[in-house]
A = this chain, B = another copy of it.
Amino acid sequence: MNAHEKSDLRAFFEPRAIAVVGSLNESGGLGYTAIRNMRRFHFAGSIYPINPSYKEALGLKAYPDVTAVEDPIDLAVVITPKQTVPGIIDQCARKGVKAAIVVSDGFAESGETGARLQRQIVEISHRTGLRIIGPNTIGTLNTDNNLVTNPYFISYDKVYKGNIAYCSQSGIVGAQGQPLKEQAYPISKMCDLGNKCDVDEVDILDYLYQDPQTGVIAMHIEDVRDGHRFINTVRRVAARKPVLLLKPGRTEHGARAVASHTGSLAGSERIYDAAFQQAGAIRLDTWRELWEIPRVFVNQPLPQGNRIAFITFTGGVGVAVVDTAEEGGLAIADFTPATIKRLSRLSPELARNPVDLGPLVAATDNPLPLLKETIAAVLNDSNVDCLTATFYASSNAETPVYMDIIDQIIKKVNKTVSIWIYGTDLAAMEELSRQVQGRGLPAYFDIELAIKALATAARYSGIKSSLAQAPCPLRQEEENDG
């Protein structure tokens, strides 16, 4: 590992001063919009608009180029035509800027001219130690200092602070592409790696490994450049934090599409699967899972085993989820005699897992005390490691009782829980979901996601133990490398 690779990525996420190099046109100029976003999000540092045609932008003094700024600059966000980028990167290096996010596209992903320009900026980076994210990226986001480098219009002004880091090779994983505020994802950092001309997935994993705000890493990658380095790093990270990966290219055409998008060799699917498994990364299947599954790691203990209980109001769903559980590596918990006795007191038919409250609920106009007692019985069963409980929403009237169940029962037992919400009123379901998640429990409208979240938590729990116990030559090697 050379000096360049050892330099850390803090300037990308924790800059005190940012230069924004790009169009300052008030009607949609990308430099203008980037600064507008930073200010709407209340970024805590200084911002320097850079454009020779402007003296001022958004009330800030503008400079003709970065070298004209007197104060030190940590990060430059470059959003200019591709031909100008090498010159600007060179100026940044001369100014002593530590890091540059190159938003501009048209580089290695689009032909030889772009590839040549990309090689030029990589050469500057290697020569000077200036780190680069991109090109072809929307950059970074940090909820700790309200940093957002995204130069596209964002219709909201806030992302919630939490411990999930989302990292991607696609702009879709960004504030301009997702209702991050409304979905209330609890986020620590975000990063779009773009073309990975310098900073790559391993660098980011290294940074997020050390980042105290990050507790779980959800990452979309199209390829891995250095398999050995990737496996070593993921093993080290996964011993401390879950690493969840969405990696397209499962099929032959998918692999070819990856190669065409990133200009790199996608690699064989089986090799990736083996590498991820060896590294202790957990592979996800859909974009929805990339966003939603990490919630299970936000504020909960890891399951001590893989035995799931499921409490439902409808037998048909209880039956169907057994498949999802088993496919995810979970076992259907066998209740202890004590639990069976406790549930049988409510009704003999409840005393099996999945617990179907449906018939009892149908026979009462106040089913929630029944749900509370059932959750208490099941969660306190020593044969149960994790639970998916069903919350039903037809109006906001039920919400306080559900919150009481969370506060009085679920939060008092050290087990992993996911909540499946269904009902007849979308607004009530969404409000209930917000409140459940506000209390640190993951809530899902899709039952399969609720189960898969627990399966992922149980799987990570196993990975973490085995990485902790394993004789770890890879770790030592990695530490020697560092």
Which A residues form the contact surface with B (CB < 8 A)? 27-28, 30, 105-106, 109-110, 152-156, 168-173, 175-180, 182-183, 220, 222, 246, 248-254, 256-258, 260-261, 286-288, 314-320, 322-323, 325-327, 332, 349, 352, 354, 356, 358-359, 362, 365, 394-395, 422-426, 428-429, 446-448
Q: Which residues of the partner chain B approach A447 to less than 8 Å between Cβ atoms?
A: 287
Shortest beta-carbon distance, A55 to chain B, in Å? 24
| A-B CB contact pairs (8 Å), 21 listed | A105-B362, A155-B428, A156-B424, A169-B316, A170-B317, A171-B316, A172-B316, A172-B422, A175-B424, A177-B423, A178-B422, A179-B426, A248-B319, A248-B323, A249-B323, A251-B322, A251-B327, A253-B322, A253-B332, A256-B322, A261-B318
A-B CB proximity, top 9 nearest: A170-B316, A254-B323, A248-B320, A28-B365, A251-B326, A257-B322, A254-B322, A257-B319, A155-B424
Q: Specify which chain B residues have a CB less than 8 angstroms from the CB of A250 in the assembled complex.
A: 323, 327
Are B251 and A155 in contact (CB-based, < 8 A)?
A: no
> Chain B: which residue is nearest A445 at the CB level?
B288
Chain B residues, Cβ within 8 Å of A332:
253, 257
Q: How many copies does the complex hold?
A: 2
Q: How far is the CA of A28 from the CA of B202 in the complex (A)?
A: 59
- The residues of B that contact A287 with a CB separation of less than 8 Å are 317, 320, 446-448
Q: How far is the CB of A459 from chain B (nearest CB, A)?
A: 16
- In the bound complex, residues from chain B placing their C-beta under 8 Å from that of A319 are 222, 248-249, 254, 257-258, 260-261
Complex CA distance for A123 and B288, rounded to whole angstroms: 49
Question: Contacts of A173 on B, CB cut-off 8 Å?
Answer: 316
Partner of A317, one of B172, B424, B425: B172
Q: How far is the CA of A365 from the CA of B33 in the complex (A)?
A: 12
Nearest neighbor of A151 in chain B, beta-carbon distance: B362
**Bound CA–CA A323/B30 (angstroms):** 33
Distance in Å: Cβ of A105 to nearest Cβ of chain B:
5
Give the residues in chain B near A325, CB-CB below 8 Å: 253
How far in angstroms is the closest Cβ of chain B from A291? 10
Q: Within 8 Å CB of A422, what residues of B?
A: 172, 177-178
Whose C-beta in chain B lies nearest to the C-beta of A246? B320
- Shortest Cβ distance from A81 into B: residue: B363
Q: Closest CB of chain B to A293's CB: distance in Å?
A: 14
Q: Is the CB of B323 within 8 A of A171?
A: no
Q: Are B220 and A318 in contact (CB under 8 A)?
A: no
Q: Is the CB of B320 within 8 A of A176?
A: no
Whether A316 and B254, one on each chain, are in contact in the complex, defined by CB atoms closer than 8 angstroms, is no
Q: Which residues of B contact A425 (CB under 8 A)?
A: 155-156, 179, 182
Q: How far is the CA of A35 from the CA of B110 in the complex (A)?
A: 65
19 extra A-B contacts, CB within 8 A, seeds A109-B315, A168-B316, A248-B323 = A105-B358, A105-B359, A152-B362, A155-B394, A171-B314, A177-B314, A183-B426, A248-B320, A250-B327, A253-B326, A253-B332, A257-B322, A260-B319, A260-B352, A261-B318, A261-B319, A286-B446, A287-B320, A288-B448
Which of A27, A178, A314, A428 has the largest count of B CB atoms less than 10 A from its CB?
Answer: A314
Measured between beta carbons, the chain B residues less than 8 angstroms from A352 are 260
Q: Does the CB pair A322–B365 fall under 8 Å?
A: no
Residue of B nearest to A254 (CB): B323
Chain B min CB distance to A246 (Å): 7
Complex interface: chain B residues within 8 A of A354 (CB): 257
Q: Cα distance A315–B183 when bound, in Å?
A: 23
| Complex Cα spacing A77 to B28, Å | 62
Report chain B residues within 8 Å CB of A365. 27-28
Cα–Cα, bound, A172→B316 (Å): 7
Collect the chain B residues with CB atoms within 8 Å of residue A446's CB.
Answer: 286-288
Choose among A153, A246, A320, A352 the residue with the greatest number of B CB atoms under 10 Å from its CB: A320
Contacts of A424 in B (CB 8 A): 154-156, 175-180
The closest CB in chain B to the CB of A320 belongs to B248
A427 to chain B, nearest CB (A): 8
A424 and B175 alpha carbons, distance in the complex (Å)? 7
A448 to B301 CA separation, bound complex (whole angstroms): 31
Distance in angstroms from A265 CB to nearest chain B CB is 14
Question: Which residues in B have their C-beta under 8 angstroms from that of A358?
Answer: 105, 171
In the assembled complex, the CB of A222 is this many whole angstroms from the nearest CB of chain B, namely: 6
CB closest residue in chain B, given A310: B257
How far apart sit A356 and B175, CA to CA, in the bound complex (Å)?
19
Q: Which residue of B lies closest to A138 (CB)?
A: B362
Bound Cα distance A178, B316 (Å): 14
Identify the closest chain B residue to A424 (Cβ).
Answer: B155
